[in-house]
């Protein structure tokens, strides 16, 4: 015989807006978090709802003022304030307008990505410390006095009233993410999901050949609010004489053909390339690499943009072959993004022990980020995490299926990778200030568009969200936050995998 569940506390329901896939995903993630703690099935209401039901329940309101009428009314009444900047969010708890004995927990965004980021930061920086009982200095408190830390909460989440959280957030860098070779993404769905858990929204995936399932991967990235940039060579890794017009013509045709046949059908958000700049030499023959690279890139880029004028092209440029010869790089077509690698010591270096010359690296970063003035479209690739084992590396011999590996294989490989992450984590805890300073320098140059990615090659990100990458994600979101505060709050979360 079935018996009715007895649950005396007020129940929660999720109220989300209409017709926005990313917001519905965010609402599902938020509802699943509540569901972990309560014995009843959490209701999710899309669009309008009967007032009697709203009066009876605590409400988790997820959405934007445009999509969620409850959030719209709370904003109109001045009870919830939202920044107008893209990707901004507000987390607020207040008495329900339908019943003052009930609560409304608002997870609101200025746009759909902001809604998802409200959910992520609510989980990480409100829910997780509340559950663990560890209340860091930044944890929002109410009343005149704050409890001693750490404090053990005896309340069960969503069985009693939730604290009066009131938090707002906006990113300093609008495009933040990961750079990786595609063949070492072993589960693309979990890889992308874990990126979304840390508010990252761009993935640059380099391949010798486009994955067979590239369209499938792109579509899934878009469903999570993540841009997908496909990378391929414009003579990187191959012998070339950039002064030879015949070779340039052949490469121009190859680049266009590769894009149109392999990558245009994927629906991606752009392409990333590297050319002949990964060298410590400053010249090829009598000409500087900076001058030759600008000519080569402008020629091929102009031909590609003539056929595809809306294509976002990212030029991965190794600064070690440019150094002070950057005046020639100013000539690169401003429609083409310049993404700088190897621009100094850590965080550009693979080695966390490479720390000499940080002040010079920071100054150089600011110079690069403002190189072409107010039209500058610039990116940085930061390193010091995991990378390919180049002793065993093999170029792809043809198209492949990306990110569909066996789960047992993923678990075994993660065990092999973890010792590398432990060593990196020790360094990242110590050197996060260098990361923040470097990013601050790029922001201070005020480029028109700034993209920052971290190189995470073969790092098993799909299986473990290792602490260094989580720290980088938060530093990309707000590099002005104190590094020790970033470490303290990230380490408390259940998602961040700490080894040291």
Looking at residue 136, its pLDDT comes to 53
Quote the tokens at residue 141: 């408190």
Can you say how many angstroms the Cα of residue 269 is from the centroid of all Cα atoms in its chain?
15
Distance CA 82, CA 266 (A): 35
Quote the tokens at residue 147: 């409890």
Question: Cβ distance 314 to 273 under 8 Å?
Answer: yes
pLDDT 10s digits, 375-424: 999 999 999 999 998 888 888 889 999 999 999 999 999 999 999 999 99
Residue 158: pLDDT over 60: yes
pLDDT band at 147, cuts 50/70/90?
Answer: very low
For the segment 166-185, the average pLDDT, to the nearest whole number, is 97
Residue 359: pLDDT over 80: yes
Q: What is the mean pLDDT of the chain?
A: 93
Taken in order 120, 126, 129, 132, is the CA torsion positive or negative? negative
Looking at residue 1, its pLDDT comes to 47
Contacts of 394 (CB under 8 A, 6+ apart): none
- CA torsion 439-441-446-449 (nearest 10°) is -30
For the segment 250-274, the average pLDDT, to the nearest whole number, is 98
Residue 194 buriedness (CB in 10 A; 0-12 / 13-18 / 19+): buried
pLDDT band at 63, cuts 50/70/90?
Answer: very high
pLDDT band at 150, cuts 50/70/90?
Answer: very low
Choose among 347, 364, 341: nearest CA to 431: 347
Please provide the CATH number assigned to the domain covering 12-169: 3.30.379.10
Q: Which long-range contacts (CB under 8 A, 24 or more apart) does 256-260 make?
A: 256/300, 256/303, 256/304, 256/307, 258/232, 259/304, 259/308, 259/311, 260/307
Looking at residue 149, its pLDDT comes to 45
How much is the pTM?
A: 0.94
pLDDT band at 286, cuts 50/70/90?
Answer: very high
Q: Could you tell me the end-to-end alpha-carbon distance of the chain, in angstroms, rounded to an integer? A: 52
Looking at residue 20, its pLDDT comes to 84
Quote the tokens at residue 279: 């060298």
For the segment 224-252, the average pLDDT, to the nearest whole number, is 96
Looking at residue 3, its pLDDT comes to 54
Distance CA 484, CA 492 (A): 13
Distance CA 103, CA 429 (A): 38
pLDDT band at 5, cuts 50/70/90?
Answer: low
pLDDT band at 318, cuts 50/70/90?
Answer: very high
Distance CA 432, CA 480 (A): 12
pLDDT 10s digits, 470-498: 999 999 999 999 999 999 999 999 999 99
Looking at residue 135, its pLDDT comes to 57
Residue 43: pLDDT over 70: yes
Percent of the chain with pLDDT over 70: 94
Question: Cβ distance 202 to 453 under 8 Å?
Answer: yes
For the segment 304-328, the average pLDDT, to the nearest whole number, is 97
Looking at residue 185, its pLDDT comes to 98
Looking at residue 154, its pLDDT comes to 47
CATH class of the domain whose range is 175-497? alpha beta
pLDDT band at 4, cuts 50/70/90?
Answer: low
Looking at residue 383, its pLDDT comes to 98
Looking at residue 146, its pLDDT comes to 43
Quote the tokens at residue 123: 């989980």
Percent of the chain with pLDDT over 90: 86
For the segment 324-334, the average pLDDT, to the nearest whole number, is 95
Residue 32: pLDDT over 60: yes
In the chain, residues under CATH classification 3.20.20.80 are 175-497
pLDDT 10s digits, 418-460: 999 999 999 999 999 999 999 999 999 999 999 999 999 999 9
Residue 400 buriedness (CB in 10 A; 0-12 / 13-18 / 19+): middle
In the chain, residues under CATH classification 3.30.379.10 are 12-169
């Amino acid at each position: 015989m079935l018996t009715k569940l007895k649950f005396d506390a007020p129940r929660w329901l999720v109220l989300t807006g209409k017709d926005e896939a990313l917001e519905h995903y965010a609402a599902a993630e938020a509802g699943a978090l509540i569901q972990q703690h309560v014995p009843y099935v959490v209701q999710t209401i899309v669009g309008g709802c009967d007032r009697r039901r709203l009066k009876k329940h605590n409400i988790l309101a997820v959405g934007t003022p445009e999509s969620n009428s409850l959030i719209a009314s709370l904003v109109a009444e001045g009870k919830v304030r939202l920044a107008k900047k893209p990707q901004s969010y507000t987390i607020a708890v207040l008495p329900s307008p339908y019943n003052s004995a009930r609560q409304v927990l608002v997870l609101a965004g200025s746009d759909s990505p902001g809604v998802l980021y409200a959910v992520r930061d609510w989980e990480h920086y409100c829910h997780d410390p509340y559950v663990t009982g560890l209340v860091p200095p930044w944890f929002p408190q109410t009343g005149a006095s704050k409890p001693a830390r750490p404090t053990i909460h005896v309340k069960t989440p969503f069985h009693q009233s939730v604290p009066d959280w009131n938090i707002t957030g906006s990113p300093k860098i609008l495009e933040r993410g990961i750079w990786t070779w595609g063949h070492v993404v072993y589960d693309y769905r979990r890889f992308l999901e874990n990126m979304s858990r840390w508010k990252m929204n761009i993935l640059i995936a380099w391949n010798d050949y486009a994955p067979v399932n590239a369209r499938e991967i792109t579509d899934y990235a878009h469903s999570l609010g993540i841009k997908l940039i496909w990378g391929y060579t414009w003579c990187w890794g191959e012998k070339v004489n950039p002064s030879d017009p015949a070779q340039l013509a052949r490469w121009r045709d190859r680049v266009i053909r590769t894009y149109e046949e392999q990558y245009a059908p994927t629906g991606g958000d752009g392409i990333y390339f590297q050319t002949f700049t990964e060298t410590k030499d400053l010249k090829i023959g009598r000409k500087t690499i900076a001058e030759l690279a600008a000519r080569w890139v402008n020629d091929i880029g102009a031909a590609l943009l003539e056929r595809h004028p809306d294509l976002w092209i990212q030029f991965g440029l190794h600064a070690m072959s440019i150094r002070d010869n950057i005046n020639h790089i100013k000539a690169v077509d401003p429609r083409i993004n310049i993404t700088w690698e190897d621009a100094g010591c850590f965080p550009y270096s693979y080695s966390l022990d490479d720390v000499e010359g940080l002040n010079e690296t920071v100054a150089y970063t600011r110079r690069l980020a403002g190189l072409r003035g107010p039209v500058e479209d610039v990116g940085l690739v930061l390193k010091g995490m995991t990378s390919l084992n180049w002793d065993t590396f093999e170029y792809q011999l043809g198209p492949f299926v990306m990110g569909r590996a066996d789960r047992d294989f993923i678990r075994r490989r993660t065990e092999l990778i973890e010792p590398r992450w432990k060593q990196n984590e020790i360094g990242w805890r110590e050197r996060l200030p260098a990361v923040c300073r470097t990013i601050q320098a790029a922001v201070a140059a005020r480029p028109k568009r700034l993209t920052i990615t971290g190189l995470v090659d073969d790092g098993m990100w799909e299986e473990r969200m290792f602490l260094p990458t989580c720290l980088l994600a938060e530093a990309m979101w707000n590099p002005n936050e104190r590094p020790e505060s970033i470490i303290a709050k990230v380490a408390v979360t259940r998602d961040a995998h700490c080894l040291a």
